[in-house]
A and B are shown apart, each in its own frame.
Chain A
Protein backbone atom coordinates (compact mmCIF):
# COMPACT_ATOMS: atom_id res chain seq x y z
CA UNK A 1 0.00 0.00 0.00
CA UNK A 2 1.22 3.41 -0.87
CA UNK A 3 1.50 5.96 1.83
CA UNK A 4 -1.38 8.30 1.06
CA UNK A 5 -1.57 11.74 2.47
CA UNK A 6 -4.61 12.40 4.61
CA UNK A 7 -3.86 16.07 4.68
CA UNK A 8 -5.84 18.47 2.63
CA UNK A 9 -4.80 18.58 -1.01
CA UNK A 10 -5.49 21.99 -2.53
CA UNK A 11 -4.99 20.64 -6.04
CA UNK A 12 -7.96 18.33 -5.62
CA UNK A 13 -10.40 20.28 -3.46
CA UNK A 14 -9.70 23.97 -4.02
CA UNK A 15 -8.98 26.47 -1.31
CA UNK A 16 -10.59 25.99 2.05
CA UNK A 17 -10.71 28.12 5.16
CA UNK A 18 -11.31 26.48 8.50
CA UNK A 19 -13.57 28.53 10.78
CA UNK A 20 -16.44 28.38 13.22
CA UNK A 21 -20.05 27.89 12.18
CA UNK A 22 -21.06 31.07 14.06
CA UNK A 23 -18.53 33.14 12.21
CA UNK A 24 -19.65 31.88 8.82
CA UNK A 25 -23.37 32.16 9.48
CA UNK A 26 -23.04 35.61 10.97
CA UNK A 27 -20.82 36.72 8.13
CA UNK A 28 -23.49 35.66 5.67
CA UNK A 29 -26.27 37.27 7.67
CA UNK A 30 -24.61 40.58 8.25
CA UNK A 31 -23.70 41.08 4.64
CA UNK A 32 -27.20 40.47 3.36
CA UNK A 33 -29.43 42.39 5.72
CA UNK A 34 -32.79 42.82 4.03
CA UNK A 35 -34.41 45.86 5.61
CA UNK A 36 -38.12 46.31 5.95
CA UNK A 37 -38.77 50.05 5.70
CA UNK A 38 -41.35 50.95 8.34
CA UNK A 39 -41.61 54.51 7.07
CA UNK A 40 -44.03 56.43 9.28
CA UNK A 41 -42.88 60.03 8.94
CA UNK A 42 -40.15 62.30 7.56
CA UNK A 43 -37.35 59.92 8.65
CA UNK A 44 -38.51 57.68 5.83
CA UNK A 45 -37.31 60.33 3.35
CA UNK A 46 -33.80 60.14 4.81
CA UNK A 47 -34.09 56.36 4.73
CA UNK A 48 -34.83 56.57 1.00
CA UNK A 49 -31.86 58.89 0.55
CA UNK A 50 -29.67 56.36 2.31
CA UNK A 51 -30.84 53.76 -0.18
CA UNK A 52 -30.22 56.03 -3.17
CA UNK A 53 -27.08 56.44 -5.22
CA UNK A 54 -25.48 59.28 -3.25
CA UNK A 55 -25.28 57.41 0.04
CA UNK A 56 -25.76 53.95 -1.41
CA UNK A 57 -26.53 51.46 1.29
CA UNK A 58 -25.74 48.77 -1.25
CA UNK A 59 -22.05 49.26 -0.45
CA UNK A 60 -22.69 47.47 2.83
CA UNK A 61 -24.94 44.78 1.45
CA UNK A 62 -28.28 45.96 2.75
CA UNK A 63 -29.99 47.58 -0.20
CA UNK A 64 -32.62 44.93 -0.74
CA UNK A 65 -35.57 46.75 0.79
CA UNK A 66 -38.51 44.44 1.05
CA UNK A 67 -41.98 45.77 1.66
CA UNK A 68 -43.17 42.41 2.86
CA UNK A 69 -42.24 41.39 6.40
CA UNK A 70 -41.96 37.77 5.25
CA UNK A 71 -38.97 38.66 3.11
CA UNK A 72 -37.18 40.99 5.49
CA UNK A 73 -35.04 40.51 8.57
CA UNK A 74 -34.41 44.05 9.78
CA UNK A 75 -37.20 46.47 10.51
CA UNK A 76 -36.15 50.11 10.24
CA UNK A 77 -38.78 52.04 12.19
CA UNK A 78 -38.41 55.44 10.54
CA UNK A 79 -40.81 57.93 12.02
CA UNK A 80 -43.41 58.73 14.62
CA UNK A 81 -45.20 55.71 16.02
CA UNK A 82 -48.69 56.70 17.11
CA UNK A 83 -50.61 54.54 19.53
CA UNK A 84 -53.02 53.73 16.72
CA UNK A 85 -50.12 52.56 14.53
CA UNK A 86 -48.40 50.63 17.33
CA UNK A 87 -50.57 47.60 16.76
CA UNK A 88 -49.63 47.51 13.08
CA UNK A 89 -45.90 47.87 13.81
CA UNK A 90 -46.08 45.04 16.31
CA UNK A 91 -47.99 42.76 13.93
CA UNK A 92 -45.59 43.38 11.08
CA UNK A 93 -42.69 42.68 13.42
CA UNK A 94 -44.32 39.41 14.44
CA UNK A 95 -44.70 38.42 10.80
CA UNK A 96 -40.98 38.72 10.14
CA UNK A 97 -39.09 35.44 10.24
CA UNK A 98 -36.32 34.87 12.77
CA UNK A 99 -33.61 35.98 13.03
CA UNK A 100 -34.72 39.59 12.99
CA UNK A 101 -33.46 42.95 14.15
CA UNK A 102 -34.95 46.37 14.69
CA UNK A 103 -33.43 49.80 14.13
CA UNK A 104 -35.25 52.74 15.73
CA UNK A 105 -34.43 55.58 13.37
CA UNK A 106 -34.73 59.10 14.71
CA UNK A 107 -35.93 60.75 17.87
CA UNK A 108 -39.60 59.81 17.44
CA UNK A 109 -39.07 56.10 17.02
CA UNK A 110 -36.50 56.06 19.82
CA UNK A 111 -38.31 58.10 22.48
CA UNK A 112 -41.36 59.82 21.05
CA UNK A 113 -39.14 62.77 20.18
CA UNK A 114 -40.82 66.14 20.12
CA UNK A 115 -44.24 64.56 20.29
CA UNK A 116 -44.90 64.57 24.01
CA UNK A 117 -48.57 64.08 23.45
CA UNK A 118 -51.55 61.88 24.05
CA UNK A 119 -51.35 60.30 20.60
CA UNK A 120 -47.69 59.31 20.27
CA UNK A 121 -46.03 56.20 21.62
CA UNK A 122 -43.02 57.29 23.68
CA UNK A 123 -40.51 55.06 21.93
CA UNK A 124 -41.12 52.00 19.79
CA UNK A 125 -39.09 49.93 22.27
CA UNK A 126 -42.26 49.73 24.34
CA UNK A 127 -43.69 47.23 21.90
CA UNK A 128 -40.76 45.70 19.99
CA UNK A 129 -37.16 45.02 21.05
CA UNK A 130 -34.81 47.56 19.45
CA UNK A 131 -31.20 46.69 18.57
CA UNK A 132 -29.88 50.06 17.44
CA UNK A 133 -31.16 53.56 18.19
CA UNK A 134 -30.30 56.43 15.87
CA UNK A 135 -30.44 60.00 17.17
CA UNK A 136 -31.45 62.90 14.98
CA UNK A 137 -34.59 64.59 13.80
CA UNK A 138 -34.38 63.26 11.19
CA UNK A 139 -30.95 61.56 11.22
CA UNK A 140 -28.72 62.19 8.21
CA UNK A 141 -28.29 59.20 5.90
CA UNK A 142 -24.72 58.87 7.19
CA UNK A 143 -26.13 58.36 10.69
CA UNK A 144 -28.39 55.61 9.42
CA UNK A 145 -25.47 53.98 7.60
CA UNK A 146 -23.47 54.16 10.82
CA UNK A 147 -26.34 52.52 12.67
CA UNK A 148 -26.59 49.77 10.08
CA UNK A 149 -22.85 49.13 10.32
CA UNK A 150 -23.26 48.95 14.10
CA UNK A 151 -26.05 46.47 13.54
CA UNK A 152 -23.70 44.41 11.37
CA UNK A 153 -21.18 44.41 14.20
CA UNK A 154 -23.89 43.29 16.55
CA UNK A 155 -25.00 40.51 14.24
CA UNK A 156 -21.37 39.42 13.96
CA UNK A 157 -21.11 39.05 17.73
CA UNK A 158 -24.29 37.02 18.15
CA UNK A 159 -24.57 33.32 18.64
CA UNK A 160 -25.89 32.35 15.24
CA UNK A 161 -28.12 29.56 16.44
CA UNK A 162 -29.37 31.26 19.59
CA UNK A 163 -32.99 30.70 18.71
CA UNK A 164 -32.50 27.00 17.96
CA UNK A 165 -30.99 25.81 21.20
CA UNK A 166 -33.16 23.85 23.61
CA UNK A 167 -32.76 26.28 26.49
CA UNK A 168 -34.08 29.11 24.37
CA UNK A 169 -36.81 27.16 22.63
CA UNK A 170 -39.20 27.48 25.54
CA UNK A 171 -38.52 31.19 25.87
CA UNK A 172 -39.35 31.89 22.27
CA UNK A 173 -43.06 31.80 22.94
CA UNK A 174 -42.83 34.58 25.49
CA UNK A 175 -42.52 38.15 24.38
CA UNK A 176 -38.98 39.46 24.05
CA UNK A 177 -37.59 41.59 26.81
CA UNK A 178 -38.66 45.13 26.22
CA UNK A 179 -37.18 48.36 27.36
CA UNK A 180 -40.60 49.81 28.00
CA UNK A 181 -42.25 46.90 29.75
CA UNK A 182 -42.73 47.46 33.42
CA UNK A 183 -40.81 50.71 33.21
CA UNK A 184 -41.69 53.42 35.69
CA UNK A 185 -43.45 56.02 33.63
Chain B
Protein backbone atom coordinates (compact mmCIF):
# COMPACT_ATOMS: atom_id res chain seq x y z
CA UNK B 1 0.00 0.00 0.00
CA UNK B 2 1.35 3.35 -0.96
CA UNK B 3 2.27 5.61 1.96
CA UNK B 4 -0.20 8.28 0.89
CA UNK B 5 -3.01 5.74 0.69
CA UNK B 6 -2.14 4.42 4.11
CA UNK B 7 -2.13 7.89 5.61
CA UNK B 8 -5.45 8.61 3.92
CA UNK B 9 -6.94 5.46 5.35
CA UNK B 10 -5.74 6.25 8.86
CA UNK B 11 -7.01 9.79 8.58
CA UNK B 12 -10.42 8.67 7.40
CA UNK B 13 -10.84 5.90 10.00
CA UNK B 14 -9.24 7.14 13.18
CA UNK B 15 -9.93 3.85 15.01
CA UNK B 16 -7.35 2.08 12.85
CA UNK B 17 -3.94 1.37 14.34
CA UNK B 18 -0.91 0.21 12.48
CA UNK B 19 -0.03 -3.43 13.01
CA UNK B 20 3.46 -4.86 13.11
CA UNK B 21 4.14 -6.66 9.87
CA UNK B 22 7.11 -8.30 8.16
CA UNK B 23 5.76 -7.83 4.66
CA UNK B 24 2.88 -5.65 3.52
CA UNK B 25 0.86 -3.00 5.33
CA UNK B 26 -1.32 -4.20 8.16
CA UNK B 27 -3.91 -2.51 10.31
CA UNK B 28 -5.88 -3.39 13.41
CA UNK B 29 -9.57 -2.72 13.21
CA UNK B 30 -12.25 -3.11 15.90
CA UNK B 31 -14.64 -5.93 15.04
CA UNK B 32 -17.73 -3.73 14.96
CA UNK B 33 -16.14 -1.40 12.37
CA UNK B 34 -14.95 -4.20 10.09
CA UNK B 35 -17.79 -4.07 7.57
CA UNK B 36 -17.55 -0.30 7.30
CA UNK B 37 -13.81 -0.46 6.70
CA UNK B 38 -13.99 -3.29 4.18
CA UNK B 39 -16.78 -1.57 2.23
CA UNK B 40 -14.57 1.50 1.91
CA UNK B 41 -11.54 -0.64 1.01
CA UNK B 42 -13.45 -2.32 -1.76
CA UNK B 43 -15.33 0.67 -3.17
CA UNK B 44 -12.94 3.57 -2.60
CA UNK B 45 -9.45 2.14 -2.17
CA UNK B 46 -9.63 -0.47 -4.94
CA UNK B 47 -8.96 -3.48 -2.71
CA UNK B 48 -11.24 -5.55 -4.86
CA UNK B 49 -10.07 -9.05 -4.01
CA UNK B 50 -10.34 -10.87 -0.70
CA UNK B 51 -7.46 -13.34 -0.84
CA UNK B 52 -7.65 -15.04 2.52
CA UNK B 53 -9.62 -15.15 5.73
CA UNK B 54 -8.02 -16.84 8.67
CA UNK B 55 -7.60 -16.41 12.40
CA UNK B 56 -5.06 -16.64 15.20
CA UNK B 57 -5.58 -18.34 18.52
CA UNK B 58 -3.43 -16.53 21.12
CA UNK B 59 -4.11 -19.27 23.68
CA UNK B 60 -4.04 -17.80 27.19
CA UNK B 61 -4.08 -14.17 26.12
CA UNK B 62 -7.14 -11.98 25.93
CA UNK B 63 -8.50 -11.18 23.39
CA UNK B 64 -7.88 -14.81 22.50
CA UNK B 65 -8.92 -14.84 18.83
CA UNK B 66 -7.92 -12.46 16.06
CA UNK B 67 -9.54 -12.65 12.65
CA UNK B 68 -7.13 -11.94 9.78
CA UNK B 69 -8.13 -10.73 6.32
CA UNK B 70 -5.82 -10.35 3.34
CA UNK B 71 -6.91 -7.99 0.59
CA UNK B 72 -5.35 -7.50 -2.82
CA UNK B 73 -5.79 -4.56 -5.09
CA UNK B 74 -5.68 -5.93 -8.62
CA UNK B 75 -5.14 -2.44 -10.05
CA UNK B 76 -2.44 -1.26 -7.64
CA UNK B 77 -0.93 -4.72 -7.07
CA UNK B 78 -0.75 -4.10 -3.35
CA UNK B 79 -1.71 -6.28 -0.44
CA UNK B 80 -3.29 -5.12 2.80
CA UNK B 81 -3.79 -7.13 5.94
CA UNK B 82 -6.64 -6.31 8.31
CA UNK B 83 -6.77 -7.83 11.76
CA UNK B 84 -9.80 -7.73 14.02
CA UNK B 85 -9.85 -9.02 17.59
CA UNK B 86 -12.90 -11.04 18.59
CA UNK B 87 -14.49 -9.32 21.58
CA UNK B 88 -15.57 -12.54 23.29
CA UNK B 89 -12.99 -15.18 24.23
CA UNK B 90 -15.50 -17.96 24.91
CA UNK B 91 -17.86 -17.51 21.95
CA UNK B 92 -15.77 -15.55 19.46
CA UNK B 93 -17.74 -13.77 16.77
CA UNK B 94 -16.94 -11.47 13.88
CA UNK B 95 -19.18 -9.82 11.30
CA UNK B 96 -19.39 -11.74 8.03
CA UNK B 97 -18.00 -10.20 4.84
CA UNK B 98 -20.09 -12.40 2.55
CA UNK B 99 -22.22 -9.46 1.45
CA UNK B 100 -19.10 -7.65 0.27
CA UNK B 101 -16.93 -10.45 -1.10
CA UNK B 102 -18.29 -13.74 -2.38
CA UNK B 103 -14.88 -15.27 -1.58
CA UNK B 104 -15.56 -14.80 2.12
CA UNK B 105 -18.21 -17.50 2.11
CA UNK B 106 -16.04 -20.61 2.09
CA UNK B 107 -13.12 -18.94 3.89
CA UNK B 108 -15.35 -18.02 6.80
CA UNK B 109 -16.81 -21.51 6.86
CA UNK B 110 -13.29 -22.92 7.08
CA UNK B 111 -12.30 -20.56 9.87
CA UNK B 112 -15.50 -21.39 11.69
CA UNK B 113 -14.82 -25.10 11.25
CA UNK B 114 -11.23 -25.09 12.44
CA UNK B 115 -11.14 -22.13 14.85
CA UNK B 116 -14.72 -21.87 15.99
CA UNK B 117 -15.24 -18.21 15.18
CA UNK B 118 -18.88 -17.52 14.33
CA UNK B 119 -19.40 -15.06 11.49
CA UNK B 120 -22.60 -13.15 12.08
CA UNK B 121 -24.64 -12.65 8.94
CA UNK B 122 -23.07 -15.58 7.08
CA UNK B 123 -25.76 -17.16 4.86
CA UNK B 124 -24.64 -20.76 5.43
CA UNK B 125 -22.29 -21.11 8.37
CA UNK B 126 -21.72 -24.87 8.36
CA UNK B 127 -18.51 -26.83 8.73
CA UNK B 128 -16.65 -27.20 5.45
CA UNK B 129 -13.87 -29.74 6.19
CA UNK B 130 -14.86 -31.73 9.25
CA UNK B 131 -18.26 -33.40 9.35
CA UNK B 132 -21.24 -31.52 10.75
CA UNK B 133 -21.47 -33.34 14.08
CA UNK B 134 -17.78 -33.01 14.92
CA UNK B 135 -17.65 -31.51 18.41
CA UNK B 136 -14.29 -29.68 18.33
CA UNK B 137 -12.44 -26.95 16.48
CA UNK B 138 -9.14 -28.65 15.65
CA UNK B 139 -6.85 -25.66 15.01
CA UNK B 140 -7.42 -24.18 18.44
CA UNK B 141 -4.38 -24.23 20.65
CA UNK B 142 -6.03 -26.42 23.28
CA UNK B 143 -6.75 -29.18 20.74
CA UNK B 144 -4.12 -31.95 20.59
CA UNK B 145 -2.63 -32.63 17.16
CA UNK B 146 -3.43 -36.33 17.41
CA UNK B 147 -7.12 -35.61 17.91
CA UNK B 148 -9.64 -36.64 20.51
CA UNK B 149 -11.61 -39.87 20.46
CA UNK B 150 -15.11 -39.30 19.06
CA UNK B 151 -17.69 -41.48 17.28
CA UNK B 152 -17.44 -41.98 13.52
CA UNK B 153 -19.66 -39.65 11.46
CA UNK B 154 -21.78 -42.54 10.15
CA UNK B 155 -23.47 -44.39 13.01
CA UNK B 156 -24.25 -47.54 11.01
CA UNK B 157 -20.67 -47.91 9.77
CA UNK B 158 -19.44 -47.39 13.32
CA UNK B 159 -21.81 -50.06 14.55
CA UNK B 160 -20.82 -52.58 11.87
CA UNK B 161 -17.10 -52.09 12.17
CA UNK B 162 -16.57 -50.98 15.75
CA UNK B 163 -14.36 -48.17 14.44
CA UNK B 164 -14.14 -44.77 16.10
CA UNK B 165 -12.22 -41.59 15.51
CA UNK B 166 -9.12 -42.24 17.61
CA UNK B 167 -6.30 -40.10 18.87
CA UNK B 168 -3.70 -40.87 16.23
CA UNK B 169 -0.55 -42.64 17.44
CA UNK B 170 2.34 -40.21 17.09
CA UNK B 171 5.04 -42.83 16.30
CA UNK B 172 7.99 -40.59 17.02
CA UNK B 173 6.30 -37.40 15.90
CA UNK B 174 5.15 -34.71 15.80
CA UNK B 175 8.04 -33.28 13.84
CA UNK B 176 8.43 -29.71 14.96
CA UNK B 177 11.00 -26.97 14.71
CA UNK B 178 12.06 -25.17 17.85
CA UNK B 179 11.88 -22.00 15.78
CA UNK B 180 14.60 -20.06 17.60
CA UNK B 181 18.10 -19.81 16.22
CA UNK B 182 19.54 -20.17 12.74
CA UNK B 183 17.63 -22.39 10.34
CA UNK B 184 20.52 -24.82 10.04
CA UNK B 185 20.07 -25.70 13.71
CA UNK B 186 16.29 -25.67 13.87
CA UNK B 187 15.44 -28.45 11.45
CA UNK B 188 12.20 -30.14 12.45
CA UNK B 189 12.97 -32.91 14.91
CA UNK B 190 10.75 -35.61 16.32
CA UNK B 191 9.27 -34.62 19.62
CA UNK B 192 8.69 -38.16 20.72
CA UNK B 193 5.11 -38.49 21.87
CA UNK B 194 4.62 -42.07 20.76
CA UNK B 195 3.37 -44.64 23.16
CA UNK B 196 4.26 -48.27 23.42
CA UNK B 197 3.80 -51.05 25.93
CA UNK B 198 6.49 -49.45 28.04
CA UNK B 199 5.40 -45.86 27.75
CA UNK B 200 1.92 -44.75 28.70
CA UNK B 201 -0.41 -43.17 26.17
CA UNK B 202 -0.62 -39.44 26.89
CA UNK B 203 -4.02 -38.32 28.10
CA UNK B 204 -5.80 -35.71 26.06
A139 within 8 A of B: no
Check if B166 is an interface residue, CB within 8 A of chain A.
yes
Contacts of B160 on A, CB cut-off 8 Å? 90, 175
A185 interface residue, CB < 8 Å from B?
Answer: yes
Contact with A along B123-139 (1 / 0, CB 8 A): 00000011100001010
Residue of A nearest to B146 (CB): A116
Q: Chain B nearest CB: distance from A9 CB in Å?
A: 55
Residues of B within 8 A of A185 (CB): 149, 166-167, 169, 201
Of the listed stretches B16-24, B34-42, B87-95, B170-178, chain A binds B170-178
Instruction: Determine if A86 and B163 form an interchain contact, defined as CB atoms under 8 angstroms apart.
Output: yes
Determine the distance from Cα of A126 to Cα of B147 in the docked complex, in whole angstroms.
17
B161 adjacent to A87 (CB under 8 Å): no
Are A180 and B161 within 8 A (Cβ)? Answer: yes
User: Are A84 and B130 within 8 A (Cβ)?
Assistant: yes
Whether the Cβ atoms of B168 and A180 lie closer than 8 Å is: no
Closest to A126 in B: B163
Please indicate the chain B residues that have their CB under 8 angstroms from the CB of A87 in the complex.
Answer: 152-154, 157
**Contact: A90 with B167, CB < 8 Å?**
no
Q: Is the interface of A mostly helix, strand, loop or mixed?
A: loop
A149 to B: closest C-beta gap in Å: 29
Tell me if B162 and A182 are in contact (CB < 8 A): yes
Nearest to B162 among chain A residues (CB) is: A181
Total interface residues on A, CB under 8 Å, equals 24
Interface: B148 (CB within 8 A): yes
Shortest Cβ gap from B196 to chain A (Å): 11
Q: Which secondary structure characterizes the binding site on chain B? A: loop
Q: What separation, in Å, do the CA atoms of A112 and B148 have in the docked complex?
A: 16
Interface membership of A58, Cβ < 8 A: no
Q: Select the stretch in A10-18, A20-28, A29-37, A117-125 that faces chain B.
A: A117-125
Q: Is B143 an interface residue (CB 8 A)?
A: yes
CA distance A122 to B170 in the complex (A): 11
Are A118 and B157 touching (Cβ within 8 A)? Answer: no
Indicate if B102 sits at the interface (CB-CB under 8 A): no
Whether the Cβ atoms of B165 and A118 lie closer than 8 Å is yes
Complex: A83 Cα to B171 Cα, angstroms = 20
Which residues, 155 to 204 on B, are CB-close (under 8 Å) to A?
A: 157, 160-163, 165-171, 173-174, 201
Q: For chain B residues 105-141, which have a beta carbon within 8 Å of chain A?
A: 129-131, 136, 138
Tell me which residues across on chain B come within 8 A of A181, comparing CB atoms.
161-163
Determine if A127 is an interface residue (Cβ-Cβ < 8 Å). Answer: yes
The answer to whether B8 has its CB under 8 Å from any CB of chain A is: no
Q: Which residues of A contact B129 (CB under 8 A)?
A: 84, 119
Q: Which of A87, A91, A121, A175 has the most CB of B within 10 A?
A: A87
| Whole-angstrom CA separation of A84 from B127 in the bound complex | 12
Q: State the 10 A-B residue pairs at the shortest beta-carbon distance, nearest first.
A: A118-B147, A87-B154, A181-B162, A116-B168, A126-B163, A175-B160, A90-B157, A185-B166, A127-B161, A84-B131
Q: What are 7 inter-chain pairs, A to B, with CB distance below 8 A?
A: A116-B145, A118-B138, A118-B165, A121-B163, A127-B163, A178-B162, A178-B163
Known: A116-B173, A117-B168. 8 other contacts (CB 8 A): A86-B157, A118-B148, A118-B168, A122-B166, A126-B163, A175-B162, A180-B163, A181-B161
B interface with A by C-beta (< 8 Å): 129-131, 136, 138, 143-149, 152-154, 157, 160-163, 165-171, 173-174, 201
